[in-house]
Amino acid sequence: MKRLWEMIRRLSGDDAYERYLAHCKTAHPDRTPMSRKAFFIAEQERKWNGVRRCC
């Protein structure tokens, strides 16, 4: 049940910020990560800068 919930969160991108924080902690411990809000905006811009949807 918990795994299903994690899957749904992952699929919808609900946990994107937590994953980003975890990544920052291990890969760049010296840098301050973006805030939740800044991260969300940056992600939306990045995601929609290419073909994401089809016919």
Partner 1 sequence: MKKLLWFGISILGAASLGDIALARGEAINSLWLVAAALCVYALGYRFYALWIAAKVLVIDDTRATPAERFDNGLDFTPTNKWVTFGHHFAAIAGPGPLVGPTLAAQFGYLPGTLWILVGAVLGGCVQDMVILFFSTRRDGRSLGQMARDELGPLGGAAALIGTLAIMVILISVLGLVVVNALKHSPWGTSTVMATIPIAILVGLHMRHFRPGKVLEGSLIGVALLLFAVASGGWIDHHDLRTLFDFDGNTLVWLVIGYGFLAAILPVWLLLAPRDYLSTYMKLGTVAALALAILVMHPEIKMPALTRFVDGTGPIFAGRLFPFVFITIACGAISGFHSLISSGTTPKLIANERDIPMIGYGGMLLESFVAIMAMVAATVLDPGVFFAINSPPGVVGQGMDAVTTISSWGFPVSMEKMQALAADMGEKTLFARTGGAPSLAVGMASIFGNAFGRGLLAIWYHFAIMFEAVFILTTLDAGTRVGRFMLQDLLGNLYKPMGRTSWYPSVLATSAAIVASWGYFLYIGVIDPNGGVNLLWPLFGIANQMLAAIALSVATGILIKSGKLKYAWVSGVPLAWLSFITTSAAWEKITSSDIRIGFFSAADNLAEKLSLGKLPPEKAAIAPKLIFNMQLDGALTLFFVAVLWIVIFEMLRVSWRKAIGLPVPPVSESPHIPSRLVEDWVRD
Interface positions with partner 1 (CB under 8 A):
7-14, 16-17, 19-20, 22-24, 27, 36-37, 39-41, 43-55
24 in Cβ contact with 31 (< 8 Å) = yes
Shorter beta-carbon distance to partner 1: residue 2 or 27: 27
Please, what is the minimum distance in Å from the beta carbon of residue 1 to partner 1?
16
At closest approach, how far in Å is the CB of 47 from partner 1?
A: 7
